């Protein structure tokens, strides 16, 4: 409304100046017209006409008062008056002839008649006749004078009337305009007052709505002083409030439902784990490996359920925190590996050396965005070989880093990383069915997220034995970029310096990945593409610290090959034999012939520490000597018997008498295998097991102890209670030598798997 008042004020000033200027112009024209009129009154024609009338009047007066000779036209005073009048008539005619626009003498007999009267008087000297003629001419001259004056002044008078009317019109227009402006100003003031009142009402309404609830809304609706407009507002607000409450109740119900589903999944996984442990007690070493795989699968399902529960509980709205990036990547890779194994595909992973160690973000939201994006991409493609490439690059913000996740779909593994990097990639349409808007909605604290698909023609592969070069379909790639804030970066320590490693695989892609990774940590790598080449290298095999073979080798029986190679390596105590396995079935057949098993895809920060530990020179050939045993038994006789059984197998064991002592011993010394009596005075074995497992979780111990429960009871419920407490196996008392040996072998088989 302030703008309206300003506009009216400016318009009033402009109009006022316009009206004043118009009136001033009209006044100037009025003065100019009066000056012109005065000048016209002094024109020679009017002066001559006026003089002619005056001279006629003087002559007539002289003729009336003269006597005797004084009335003679040839004697004064009549003679000069007559001559002057004749001269004036002549002058007037001349001027009239020059001013035809003002007077015309055509048909005018006044002036000729006056001249004839003068000439007749001069000729006859008849005073009476002269007086009569002069009197008649005088009256006519006066009328002619008036007519001439009217003709001369008529234009100026008409102009004066026109100017007067113009001035009157401008004045009337000014009055009307002033009235209009006053009306607008009054209306503006009223509107301004109304706007102020509306603003006040809105502010008051906003203040009321800040702390209003459902009861307050209902109270307003029930208040008789509430205006109709306010009533409509509060009625709509009440309806919206009811809709929101209904949606919140539904959301809470769905959240509770999803949480229950997640908890039920976790409960089922616990039941599966307990059942697997019970069943595995009667199985052999291969059964123990299978039990481990089933347990890992149930753990994966349980982790997904927990992660999902965190997400639906507001994970995308949670406060950001520090995320340990490398363990986070391990979890993601494990889940993606499980998905590819279900479809019988090979999954490799390449982690570059410039990855962050700790980042700022929300682990739950980031996990689900990446998992669903990559998982849907895997489902959308049918290629047998997959490569997940994780690296960093510069972000738009200086303090941030861009994480790049590229999953490449390959029709063959006979290509290396350079072939993939140098391929002619071109952008193509989205293929996985998930757009970036969904991901951005979950990653609320991420400045930039973008995904795009690319395609490149496959390179020309070498010709086969028949000289035919295979024609391959194009490569596909999903590129995901996320800008994050790194807190610290992972430092690569050359822990494999002076170590020589032989890698045996026929996959060009796997060779490139493993070679780069091992050389990055300082190892010297020798690549062998065929199994026979290893046997050819037996004379110098002792120079190598480790031999890593993969289960992708074609044309051999892996179990027989590992068994033969294992026997040949007994003479080279320094050289360790490791298996990089992609399937559990491979581990079941070969674990007893290798020193350690690593599951692919190989993750550097997990593989290298385990590989370094396994290659330590101080490591004894017999793994049994590394194992430490603890016997928790309240019965001295049973303690003696069990310790003697272990001693016969070459094991030394420490003994304690109750659960409390066992917990303290594990805190101070630790043990690889614990034989735990389930029922003891004081703290029993079940309670002690729970405390030991709790401490292992709190300390994040990489290799938890194997706890073997021992009980004289045979009921299924007793065994189930032991398993649920955290025991790995349950054996029956009294202790039997063959059962003890069987359990220890199971433990050794599992210990080889990383």
Q: What is the CATH number of the domain that holds 676?
A: 3.40.50.2300
Domain finish residue from 557, 580, 614: 614
Residue 504 and residue 415 share a domain:
no
Q: For residue 592, give both structure tokens.
A: 């007893």
Residue 388 and residue 522 share a domain:
no
Domain finish residue from 158, 185, 212: 185
> For residues 501 and 614, what is the distance between their CA atoms, to the nearest angstrom?
13
Task: Give the pLDDT score at 621.
Answer: 43
Which CATH number is 438's domain given?
3.30.565.10
CB-neighbour burial class of residue 465 (10 A; exposed 0-12, middle 13-18, buried 19+):
exposed
* Residue 610 resides in a domain: yes
Give Rg (Cα) of the chain.
60
Residue 665 and residue 538 share a domain:
no
The helices-and-strands tally (H runs, E runs) of the chain is: 22, 18
Residue 651 and residue 504 share a domain:
no
Residue located via tokens 């409304």: 1
> For residues 211 and 586, what is the distance between their CA atoms, to the nearest angstrom?
66
Counted domains in the chain: 4
Residue 519 and residue 431 share a domain:
no
Residue 416 and residue 386 share a domain:
yes
Give me the residues of the chain with pLDDT under 50, please. 1-2, 284-286, 288-289, 315-316, 617-625
Task: Give the pLDDT score at 541.
Answer: 81
Q: Is-contact 52 85, C-beta < 8 A?
A: yes
> For residues 684 and 722, what is the distance between their CA atoms, to the nearest angstrom?
11
* Residue 69 resides in a domain: yes
* Residue 74 resides in a domain: yes
Nearest CA to 634 out of 728, 694, 714, 712 is that of 712
Provide the 8-state DSSP code for 7: H
Residue located via tokens 């940590």: 521
Residue 374 and residue 438 share a domain:
yes
> For residues 12 and 178, what is the distance between their CA atoms, to the nearest angstrom?
8
Neighbours of 427 (CB within 10 A): 9
Task: Give the pLDDT score at 620.
Answer: 44
Which H or E run includes 525?
Answer: strand 524-528
Sheet strands (E) in 634-745: 653-656, 673-677, 706-711, 729-732
Residue 649 and residue 581 share a domain:
no
pLDDT in tens, 120-152: 877 787 778 777 877 877 778 778 778 877 777
* Residue 204 resides in a domain: no
Distance of CA 402 to the CA centre of its chain: 16
Residue 523 and residue 419 share a domain:
no
Task: Give the pLDDT score at 630.
Answer: 92
Residue 637 and residue 590 share a domain:
no
* Residue 304 resides in a domain: no
Residue located via tokens 């070459």: 650
Distance of CA 548 to the CA centre of its chain: 46
Task: Give the pLDDT score at 122.
Answer: 79
Which CA distances in Å does 744 have to 283, 287, 380, 409? 13, 14, 45, 43
Domain finish residue from 614, 639, 674: 614
Residue 120 and residue 76 share a domain:
yes
Task: Give the pLDDT score at 619.
Answer: 46
* Residue 408 resides in a domain: yes
Structural domain boundaries enclosing 97: 2-185
For residues 692-704, one letter each, b for 16 or more C-beta atoms within 10 angstroms of the residue's C-beta and e for the rest, the string is: bbeebeeeeeeee
Residue 421 and residue 374 share a domain:
yes
- Helices 2-41 and 127-210: crossing angle in degrees, nearest 10, is 170
């Amino acid at each position: 409304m302030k703008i309206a008042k300003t506009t009216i004020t400016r318009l009033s000033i402009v109009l006022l100046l316009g009206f004043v200027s118009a009136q001033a112009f009209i006044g100037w024209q009025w003065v100019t017209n009066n000056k012109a009129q005065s000048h016209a009154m002094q024109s020679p024609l009017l002066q001559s006409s006026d003089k002619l009338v005056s001279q006629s009047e003087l002559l007539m007066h002289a003729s009336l008062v003269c006597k005797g000779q004084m009335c003679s036209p040839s004697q004064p005073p009549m003679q000069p008056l007559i001559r002057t009048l004749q001269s004036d008539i002549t002058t007037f005619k001349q001027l009239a002839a020059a001013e035809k626009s003002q007077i015309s003498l055509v048909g005018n007999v006044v002036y000729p008649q006056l001249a004839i009267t003068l000439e007749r008087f001069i000729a006859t000297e008849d005073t009476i006749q002269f007086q009569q003629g002069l009197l008649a001419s005088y009256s006519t001259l006066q009328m002619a004078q008036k007519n001439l004056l009217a003709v001369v002044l008529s234009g100026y008078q008409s102009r004066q009337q026109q100017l007067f009317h113009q001035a009157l019109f401008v004045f009337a227009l000014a009055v009307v305009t002033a009235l209009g402006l006053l009306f607008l100003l009054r209306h503006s003031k009223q509107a301004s007052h109304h706007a102020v009142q509306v603003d006040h009402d809105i502010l008051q309404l906003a203040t009321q709505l800040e702390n209003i609830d459902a009861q307050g809304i209902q109270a307003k609706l029930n208040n008789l002083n509430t205006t109709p407009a306010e009533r409509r507002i509060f009625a709509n607000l009440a309806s919206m409030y009811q809709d929101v409450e209904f949606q919140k109740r539904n959301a809470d119900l769905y959240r509770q439902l999803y949480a229950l589903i997640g908890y039920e999944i976790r409960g089922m996984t616990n039941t599966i784990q307990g059942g697997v442990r019970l069943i595995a007690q009667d199985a052999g070493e291969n059964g123990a490996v299978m039990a481990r795989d089933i347990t890992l699968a149930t753990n994966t399902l349980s982790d997904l359920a927990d992660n999902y529960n965190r997400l639906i509980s507001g994970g995308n709205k949670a406060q950001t925190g520090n995320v340990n990036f490398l363990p986070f990547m391990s979890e993601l890779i494990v889940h993606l590996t499980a998905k590819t194994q279900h479809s019988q595909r090979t999954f490799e992973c390449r982690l570059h050396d410039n990855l962050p160690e700790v980042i700022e973000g929300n682990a739950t939201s980031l996990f689900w965005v990446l998992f669903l994006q990559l998982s849907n991409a895997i489902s959308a493609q049918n290629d047998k070989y997959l490569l997940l490439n994780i690296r960093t690059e510069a972000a738009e913000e200086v303090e941030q880093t861009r994480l790049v996740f590229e999953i490449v779909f390959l029709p063959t593994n006979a290509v290396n990383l350079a072939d993939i990097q140098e391929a002619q990639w071109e952008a193509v349409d989205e293929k996985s069915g998930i757009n970036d808007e969904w991901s951005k909605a979950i990653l609320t604290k991420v400045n930039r997220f973008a995904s795009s698909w690319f395609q490149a023609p496959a390179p020309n592969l070498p010709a086969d034995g028949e000289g035919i070069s295979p024609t391959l379909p194009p490569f596909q790639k999903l590129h995901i970029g996320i800008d994050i804030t790194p807190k610290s970066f992972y430092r690569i320590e050359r822990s494999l310096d002076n170590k020589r490693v032989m890698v045996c695989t026929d996959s060009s892609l796997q060779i490139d990945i493993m070679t780069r990774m091992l050389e990055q940590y300082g190892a010297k790598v020798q690549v062998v593409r065929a199994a026979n080449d290893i046997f050819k290298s037996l004379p110098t095999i002792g120079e190598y610290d480790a031999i890593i073979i993969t289960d992708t080798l074609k044309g051999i029986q892996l179990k027989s090959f590992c068994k033969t190679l294992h026997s040949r390596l007994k003479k080279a105590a320094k050289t360790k034999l490791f298996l990089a396995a992609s399937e559990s079935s491979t581990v079941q057949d070969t674990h007893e012939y290798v020193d350690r098993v690593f599951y692919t895809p190989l993750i550097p920060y997990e593989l290298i520490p385990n590989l370094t530990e396994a290659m330590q020179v101080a490591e004894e050939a017999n793994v049994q000597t590394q194992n430490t045993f603890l016997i928790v038994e309240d019965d001295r006789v049973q303690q003696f018997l069990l310790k003697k059984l272990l001693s016969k197998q070459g094991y030394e064991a420490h003994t304690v008498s109750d659960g409390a002592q066992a917990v303290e011993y594990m805190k101070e010394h630790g043990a690889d295998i614990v034989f735990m009596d389930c029922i003891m005075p004081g703290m029993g074995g079940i309670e002690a097991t729970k405390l030991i497992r709790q401490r292992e979780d709190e300390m994040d111990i990489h290799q938890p102890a194997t706890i073997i429960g021992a009980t004289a009871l045979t009921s299924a419920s007793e065994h189930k209670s032991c398993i649920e407490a955290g025991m790995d196996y349950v054996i029956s008392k009294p202790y039997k030598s063959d059962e003890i040996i069987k359990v220890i072998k199971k433990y050794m088989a599992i210990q080889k798997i990383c």
